[in-house]
Each structure stands twice: as structure tokens, then as C-alpha cells.
Amino acid sequence: MENTPARLTGGPLSAREVGIRSYVVRSGRMTDGQKDALNRLYPAYGVPWEPGRMLDSTALFGADAPFVVEIGFGMGLATAAIAEALPGTSFLGLEVHAPGVGKLLSEIEARGLANLRVCRHDAVEVVGSMLAPGSVDGFHVFFPDPWPKKRHHKRRIMNPDFIRLMAERLKPGGYIYYVTDWEEYAEWTLDALGAEPLLRNQYGRWAERESWRPVTKFEERAVNDGRAVRELKFVRV
């Protein structure tokens, strides 16, 4: 397997470590603007994939601020809006999809966001091999791929191994904030987060929406189609 993550925890090899991915590499076309942004702006706002080099968020952003990591930001519309709304927090967005990375880089430039960086690489590997235990204040996981077929559930990013990895990277009191419009995945994740001893649910069951999380077009469509949007917020004990 290419870029095998450094093993930072013990135990037998998990399914993920033998190559099961939470995404499929899409050959989606990039616009000229996205291509240009990727080439021109990644050197300035991109974080290179360097397994084993633990990120120092204070050095990366030049600010001693809370550090929040977003898993799979897609086109980055919510990411840019949240970074703009919370200038006192440092954000690192992780995404494999090149058009989305290009789009978010152009938003960073257009909005002049000093508190947002991106890394174009598998989030599972970045969290495992570039984030030190106890170094993160929050993880955002918004509308992750639901992988609805039962035989694909093992591809879901909110699996017990990755939840444990994120929990270990959190500081005490740090959080995982997850949102989905897929009811069965919401229940599945509620159970998986609830089964992790390092975490506790901040709410009785579903979380309240954070005021700074924008309603994206994707989310509007889900609501118009009659699907409930579920939120979960778990905190590191």
C-alpha cells in the first residue's frame, strides 16, 4: 500500500491499514480556475503530506489558537464560511478530491483567510501520522459519504478505528462534531461514538446545530426532500 501510515497505536492491523478506503478516487474534471488555484496557491496554503512530521499548529499559523481539523471538506463552502466566522481559531481542512482543494484554495485567497490551511491527502493517514496525540481541539465531519450498502459499511469514515484515532488526537475537552442527512448512518455513528470510552456525548442524544455552521445548498436540498439533518457532538474525557 502506498504511503502506509506510521503505526502509532499497538494491536493487530485494522481493515483500514490493509487498504480499505472511505473514498473512491474520482476523475472529476477541474475548472481552469481550480487548476490555477491548486498550482499557484498550494505552496502558500497547502500542507505537504509528510508522514511522521507532527504538525505544530502554533508554528503553522503563527498564532497560539484553538486548532480544529475538518475531515473531507468537499468543495469547502462550509469550511471557508466557518473560518471566516471564527478568526480566532486555526483550521486545517483535509480532502482528497482535487477540484475541491482548488476551490477552497481560491476561497482562502479571495477572503484573505489567515486561519485556514489545507492538505490534499487521505484524512485517516494525516490524522494518524501527522497529528500528535492530545494536540487537536476539535474535529469536524460534515455529511461524510454514507456508503449505504451493508457490504460497504466498512468504508464509512466514522468507524471504530478512526473514531479511536481522532479521540486520541484530541486534547481533554476537545470535540468531534459530526453532521449527516442519512438517518441510518446517524444512528450507526451515535452507537460507534457512544462505544468509545475516551468520549462522552455532550447532549442526551442529537446535538444542537452550532450557530457558526452554515446551511449549505446540499443541506437545503436534503431538508426540502424531507430528510432530517442529525448532528452529534462528543467530547474527549
| Catalytic positions | 145
**Number of residues engaging ligand SAM in binding (CB under 6 A):** 21
Q: Is 143 in the site for ligand SAM (CB under 6 A)?
A: yes
Residue 66: what are its φ and ψ, rounded to 5°?
-55, 145
Separation CA 111–CA 81 (nearest Å): 9
Q: What is the DSSP letter of 24?
A: -
**Cβ distance to ligand SAM smaller for residue 54 or 215:** 215
Among 61, 142, 177, 234, binds ligand SAM (CB under 6 A): 142
Separation CA 66–CA 100 (nearest Å): 24
CA–CA distances in Å: residue 28 to residues 79, 80, 111, 144: 21, 22, 25, 18
End-to-end Cα separation, the chain, in angstroms: 34
Separation CA 139–CA 127 (nearest Å): 10
Site string for ligand SAM, 217-236 (x = CB under 6 A): -x------------------
**In angstroms, what is the minimal distance from the CB of 172 to ligand SAM?**
26
152 Cβ contact list (under 8 Å, min separation 6): none
The answer to whether the beta carbons of residues 36 and 61 sit under 8 Å apart is no
Among 41, 55, 61, 74, binds ligand SAM (CB under 6 A): 74
**In angstroms, what is the minimal distance from the CB of 62 to ligand SAM?**
25
Residue matched to cell numbers 494536540: 135
Q: Which three cell numbers stand for residue 138?
A: 476539535
Q: Is 124 in the site for ligand SAM (CB under 6 A)?
A: yes
Site string for ligand SAM, 12-41 (x = CB under 6 A): ----------xx------------------
**Cβ distance to ligand SAM smaller for residue 46 or 63:** 46
Neighbouring-strand partners of residue 176: 139, 234
**Cβ distance to ligand SAM smaller for residue 127 or 235:** 127
Among 37, 41, 55, 78, binds ligand SAM (CB under 6 A): 78
Region of 93-101, 102-110, 164-172, 180-188 interacting with ligand SAM (CB under 6 A): 93-101
Separation CA 28–CA 93 (nearest Å): 20
- Positions touching ligand SAM (CB under 6 A) are 22-23, 72-74, 78, 94-97, 100, 122-124, 142-145, 157, 216, 218
